[in-house]
Amino acid sequence: MGKLTIRPLFDAPTSTFTYLLYLETGQALLIDSVKEQFERDLKLVSELGLSLKYLIETHVHADHITGAGLLSEKTGAKIVYGAKSGVQSADLLINDGESIDLEGTSIIGLSTPGHTAGCTSWLIEGQVFTGDSLMIRGCGRTDFQQGSSEVLYQSVHQQLFSLSDQTRIYPGHNYQGHPWSTVGEEKMYNPRLGGQKSLEEFKRIMDNLKLAPPQRLAQSVPANLKCGKD
Amino acid sequence: MGKLTIRPLFDAPTSTFTYLLYLETGQALLIDSVKEQFERDLKLVSELGLSLKYLIETHVHADHITGAGLLSEKTGAKIVYGAKSGVQSADLLINDGESIDLEGTSIIGLSTPGHTAGCTSWLIEGQVFTGDSLMIRGCGRTDFQQGSSEVLYQSVHQQLFSLSDQTRIYPGHNYQGHPWSTVGEEKMYNPRLGGQKSLEEFKRIMDNLKLAPPQRLAQSVPANLKCGKD
């Protein structure tokens, strides 16, 4: 088990974080890649001399198309989704609590539905990659793709807030300029879910957001259900 | 000397990285703050229970006004610039090779002119905060504020590329979605300055950029020469 490096990458047009994780041996995985950044990501993997083993997704995104399909074709890396994602064409579908292995490093799937019904957060050596389930001082919306404020509240409290306070949270998006935070911080300062916010308060906050639909919803969801493959 | 945490913060409108660095004891410093993010930064410092000692700037920015003046008034932290920055109202002006101390952690100023005549990079425990001198797979422009391609080439090669290959580079901006890199990587893959690029090649690249002036140049430079104080 070698030292793990976490390398965030950023897609400015959609404010999406992609994470490249790699061991000293060169074994690597990519979380939530963006199709438009396919060449950038592949170039970096090549420059660093990495061998890409997994393309992991936190959920079926509504705001961008995943780069997983293209990257899988080029590198042979396996596409990994949570079992409830509905992505039947993934190479691996992981149930809550199951893990995959990168040379002795466990990547544990934590089912965290609520933003979508199939969201999975990924726990890797004291870090959790939460996608749109829990974001820094925020959370994903719950008003489409079988989203549910009640379900998200339970996911965050039972799965994510039960991790140690030092666990570092790497979210799927960066809307307020906070690239990461910790479980302890979000438990205290997340304005929607932290402090002693009740389920009723959270539901009221989410009901009152009144957000416009994501611009790329109609293209992204069907494309992502096919892993972004054309 | 406690464990140092590096917390990047991001200002999307100007693609600017601010870095909050803190020790386990709560002693902290902020590098390249943005005036519009003053409240966010002050709130985070408060939530984390930090005591802000230094407000460090890499240079007199042309694209945004620093938050250092406001933060200094609120917290009493000292404003730190490189000695050649021309910012006479700073609390501390650091020459090349001089350092300031945060409870045993040295913050070493490396004079890296070229983007501006007064740019300073800051070396802190195996990390270097380069501002606009060296960016990830890029560099700052050299066509105003006494910029000089020739001087920047020397700064990068003599000061930054002489650091150990493992030194992590945290830049002032994120234009291509790469939040950080290493000296070893930039020496190999920086398309302007890496590989075996000669000074002549670098000058030709920079001469051909033909960039429009920064939108906020006329406001930012005079404001920053006064530390962003109104």
Tens of pLDDT, residues A157-169: 999 999 999 999 9
How far apart CA B5 and CA B21 sit, in angstroms, is: 6
Q: Considering only alpha carbons, which residue of chain A is nearest residue B8?
A: A179
User: Which of B15, B34, B173, B178 is most worth mutating to test chain A (most A CB atoms within 10 A of its CB)?
Assistant: B178
Q: Can you say whether the dihedral through the CA atoms of A201, A187, A137, A5 is positive or negative?
A: negative
Tens of pLDDT, residues B90-125: 999 999 999 999 999 999 999 999 999 999 999 999
Cβ–Cβ contact B185 with A under 8 A? yes
How far apart CA A30 and CA A50 sit, in angstroms, is: 11
Characterize B119-144 residue by residue with b for buried, 16 or more Cβ atoms within 10 angstroms of its Cβ, and e for exposed: bbbbbbeebbbbbbbbbbbbbbbbee
CA distance A189 to chain B (A): 8
Tens of pLDDT, residues A169-214: 999 998 889 999 999 999 999 999 999 999 999 999 999 999 988 8
If DSSP codes are grouped into helix, strand and coil, which group holds residue A206?
A: helix
pLDDT of residue A111: 98
Helix, strand, coil distribution of chain A in percent, nearest 5: 30, 30, 40
Task: Compute the CA torsion angle A58, A59, A61, A66 (nearest 10 deg).
Answer: 60
How far apart CA B93 and CA B153 sit, in angstroms, is: 24
How far apart CA B61 and CA B35 sit, in angstroms, is: 12
CATH class, domain A4-210, is alpha beta
Q: Do A177 and B47 touch (CB under 8 A)?
A: no
Cβ–Cβ contact B201 with A under 8 A? no
Q: HSE-up of B220 (CA within 13 Å, CB side)?
A: 19
Helices H / strands E in chain A, number of each: 6, 14
Q: Where are chain A's structural domains? A: 4-210
pLDDT of residue B1: 54
For helices A68-75 and A38-47, the axis angle rounded to 10 degrees is 40
Tens of pLDDT, residues B195-213: 999 999 999 999 999 998 8
How far apart CA B187 and CA B167 sit, in angstroms, is: 12
Residue A1: pLDDT over 60: no
Cβ–Cβ contact B178 with A under 8 A? yes
If DSSP codes are grouped into helix, strand and coil, which group holds residue B149?
A: helix
Eight-state DSSP code of residue A156: I
- Which element (helix H / strand E) includes B18? strand B16-23
How many CB atoms neighbour CB B216 within 10 A? 16
Asked whether the whole model's pTM tops 0.90, one would answer yes
Tens of pLDDT, residues A8-63: 999 999 999 999 999 999 999 999 999 999 999 999 999 999 999 999 999 999 99
User: Which of B166, B176, B180 is most worth mutating to test chain A (most A CB atoms within 10 A of its CB)?
Assistant: B176
Between strands B92-94 and B78-82, the pairing is parallel
**Average pLDDT of B145-170?**
97
Portion 45-64 of B in contact with A at CB < 8 A: 47-48
Please give the ipTM for the structure prediction.
0.94
pLDDT of residue A203: 97
How far apart CA A99 and CA B199 sit, in angstroms, is: 51
Backbone angles phi, psi at B60, to 5 degrees: -80, 105
Cβ–Cβ contact B9 with A under 8 A? yes
Provide the number of CB pairs (under 8 Å) joining chain A to chain B: 45
Nearest to A179 among B8, B40, B185 (CB): B8
Characterize A31-55 residue by residue with b for buried, 16 or more Cβ atoms within 10 angstroms of its Cβ, and e for exposed: bbbbbebbebbbebbeebebebbbb
Q: What confidence category does residue B144 fall into, taking pLDDT thresholds of 50, 70 and 90?
A: confident
